[in-house]
Amino acid sequence: MSTPPPAADPREAALASPGPAHGPDSAKVRAAVRGGTLAYFVDQFDIYLPIVVLAPATAYFQSANLSAGTVALLSSLVFASTLIGRPLGAVIFGHFADTVGRKRTTLVAVGGFGFLTLATACLPGHETIGMWSVGLLIALRFVDGIFLGGEYTTAVPLAMEWSPRHKRGLYASVITSTSPAAYAVIAAITLLLLQLLPSQGLHSAYVQWGWRIPFVVGALLAAVLFRYYLKQVHEPPAAANGERHKLPLLRLLTRYPRALAQVFVLMTGTWLATNMEAAVTPAQLKEHLMLSSKEVTLTMLVVNASAALCYPLFGLLSQRIGRRRFYIGYGLAVIVVGAGSYTLLMTSDGGLGTALGWGAMIGIFTVGTFGPIAAYLTERFPASIRSTAYGVGYSLALIAPAFYQFYLQQFDGLMPAHLAPAVLIALAGALISLGGFLGPETKDVDMADDDTIPALS
C-alpha cells in the first residue's frame, strides 16, 4: 500500500502558481489591465497638458511686462502645483480605496479630474481678469492634482492585483508606457494645432482659443474612462476579501516605515529625472539650441515615443533578472548615458537632426524607471494598505523634485544654465540605484497573501 504524498504547503503552492490566467477570471484580468492602461494614459495626458499645450500660449495668462525669469517661474508653478496636489490625493483616495473599495474610489477620482480639466479649458485670460488668470490656473491644477493622485492610487493597484504573477512586469510596463505615449500624443496634437492655427502674438488663434482644444480632449477621455470602469472593471479579490484597516495610513507609517523610506528614495530619483526630461529639456531646446516651437514639440514627441517603446522591454527585463537588479543597473545607466546624452546634446552645434538623435537617448535613459514601477510598488506592500502605500510612495516623492527650478538656480555662476540639468539627472540616477539597492526582490510575491509581505519590509 503506497504512502500518499505529503500535503503541499499552501504558501509554496501560491508562490508556484502563475495566478489567474484562465477560466472565468481571465475576462476580469483583461478588463482590469485595460482599465489600468487607459487610466494611466488619461492621468498622464492631463499631467502633461500645461507643459506642452500652454508653452506657446503663456501670453494669454501672463502680463507681457514680466521678466523671462518670472515667466519661467510661473510656468514651473503651473506644473508643480499639479504634482504637489498628488500626494494629498494619494492619502485621501488611498484611504477610501483600502477601506471602501478600489472601483468606487476610482470612479470618484476620475469624475473629479475630468470636471476640473474641462473647467481649465474655460478660463479667461490676463486681459480679462489680470493676474487672477494665472492664479486660477495654478489653483485648478492643484485641485486637479488631488483627484489625479487619487485616480492612479486606486486604478493601478486594482490592475496589478488582477495580473498573473509571471506577467506583472509586462503588464505594469504596458500600463506605464502610456505616460511617455500620452506626452507624445499631446505633442502631436499641439504640433497639428500650431500648423493649422497662428500662434504669434496675444490675439492669435492658438493663444486665444486653440490651446483649449487639448484640454477638452482630456475631459472627454476622462468621461470615457469613467464609463469603462463603471461597466467593465470589477473589484479584485485581494482587496475585496482581504483584511481591512480603519486607518491604513497610520498602519503604513508605523509598521512599514523602512519600506516607505526606501520607496521614497527610489521615487525621488525617478521624479527628478522625469522633470529634467519633461519640463526642463523643452525650454533648453528653445532657449539654448534655438529650435522653433514646432521643432521643440517634434523633438519631445520623439523623446517620449522612444521611452514608450522601451518600457515593455524594461518590464520584461525586470521580470527576468528581478526588480532590484533592474533598478540598481538602470540608475547607473541614467548617470552615464542619460546625463551624458543630455550634455552632448547641449554642447553640440544644435540642429533638429542632432536634437532628435540625442533626444531619443535621453528619453530611453532618464524615465525608464517607470517601466516596471507599477508592479514593484504594489508588490512592496500588503493588500490591506496597498492603495495607500502605493499612492503615498509614488507621489510623496513628487514634492521635492517639483521645485526643480529653484535647484537649477543654485548653479548660477557655477556652470552654464543649459548644463546644470545634467547634474540633476546624474543625481537622479544615483538615487534610483540607491533606492533599488536598499529594497528587496519582489517579483515572486503573492499579492493576495499579506503574510508574504512583512518579511520584505
What pLDDT, on a 0 to 100 scale, did the predictor assign at position 387?
87
Is the per-residue pLDDT at 15 higher than 50? no
Element (DSSP H or E) covering residue 275: helix 257-275
Rg of the chain over CA atoms, in angstroms?
22
DSSP-based three-state secondary structure for 265 = helix
What pLDDT, on a 0 to 100 scale, did the predictor assign at position 19?
42
What pLDDT, on a 0 to 100 scale, did the predictor assign at position 456?
57
Separation of alpha carbons 421 and 437, rounded Å: 24
Separation of alpha carbons 158 and 93, rounded Å: 13
pLDDT tens for each residue of 365-413: 999 999 999 999 999 998 888 988 998 888 888 888 988 888 988 888 8
Is the per-residue pLDDT at 22 higher than 60? no
pLDDT band at 81 (very low <50, low <70, confident <90, very high): confident
User: Cα separations (Å) of 409 from 28, 80, 285, 412?
Assistant: 49, 16, 18, 5
Is the per-residue pLDDT at 259 higher than 90? yes
Is the per-residue pLDDT at 193 higher than 80? yes
pLDDT band at 427 (very low <50, low <70, confident <90, very high): very high
What pLDDT, on a 0 to 100 scale, did the predictor assign at position 125?
87
419 falls within a domain:
yes
What pLDDT, on a 0 to 100 scale, did the predictor assign at position 131?
85
In the predicted model, what is the mean pLDDT of residues 348-356?
Answer: 87
What pLDDT, on a 0 to 100 scale, did the predictor assign at position 149?
85
288 falls within a domain:
yes
What pLDDT, on a 0 to 100 scale, did the predictor assign at position 448?
76
Is the per-residue pLDDT at 9 higher than 70? no
Is the per-residue pLDDT at 13 higher than 50? no
What pLDDT, on a 0 to 100 scale, did the predictor assign at position 79?
78
440 falls within a domain:
yes
9 falls within a domain:
no
Name residue, grid cell 482644444: 213
pTM for the full predicted model: 0.78
First to last CA, the chain: 47
pLDDT tens for each residue of 214-254: 999 999 999 999 999 998 888 776 555 555 667 888 989 99
pLDDT tens for each residue of 287-329: 889 888 789 889 988 998 999 899 999 999 999 999 999 999 9
366 falls within a domain:
yes
Is the per-residue pLDDT at 453 higher than 80? no
| CB-based contact 146:195 (threshold 8 Å) | no
What pLDDT, on a 0 to 100 scale, did the predictor assign at position 245?
63
Which of 108-112, 341-345, 403-407 shows the lowest per-residue confidence on average (mean pLDDT)?
403-407
Which of 20-24, 117-121, 174-178, 239-243 shows the lowest per-residue confidence on average (mean pLDDT)?
20-24
What pLDDT, on a 0 to 100 scale, did the predictor assign at position 243?
57
In the predicted model, what is the mean pLDDT of residues 180-190?
Answer: 87
Separation of alpha carbons 51 and 72, rounded Å: 11
Q: How many Cα atoms within 13 Å fall on the side-chain side of residue 90? A: 26
Whole-number percent of the chain with pLDDT over 70: 90
319 falls within a domain:
yes
What pLDDT, on a 0 to 100 scale, did the predictor assign at position 17?
38
11 falls within a domain:
no
314 falls within a domain:
yes
Q: How many domains does the chain have?
A: 1
What pLDDT, on a 0 to 100 scale, did the predictor assign at position 175?
92
Instruction: Choose among 425, 432, 399: nearest CA to 149.
Output: 399
Is the per-residue pLDDT at 18 higher than 80? no
What pLDDT, on a 0 to 100 scale, did the predictor assign at position 87?
85
Is the per-residue pLDDT at 361 higher than 70? yes
Separation of alpha carbons 374 and 236, rounded Å: 16
DSSP-based three-state secondary structure for 86 = helix
CATH of the domain at 83: 1.20.1250.20
Q: pLDDT averaged over the chain?
A: 85
Q: Domain of 127?
A: 28-456
Is the per-residue pLDDT at 21 higher than 50? no
What pLDDT, on a 0 to 100 scale, did the predictor assign at position 288?
87
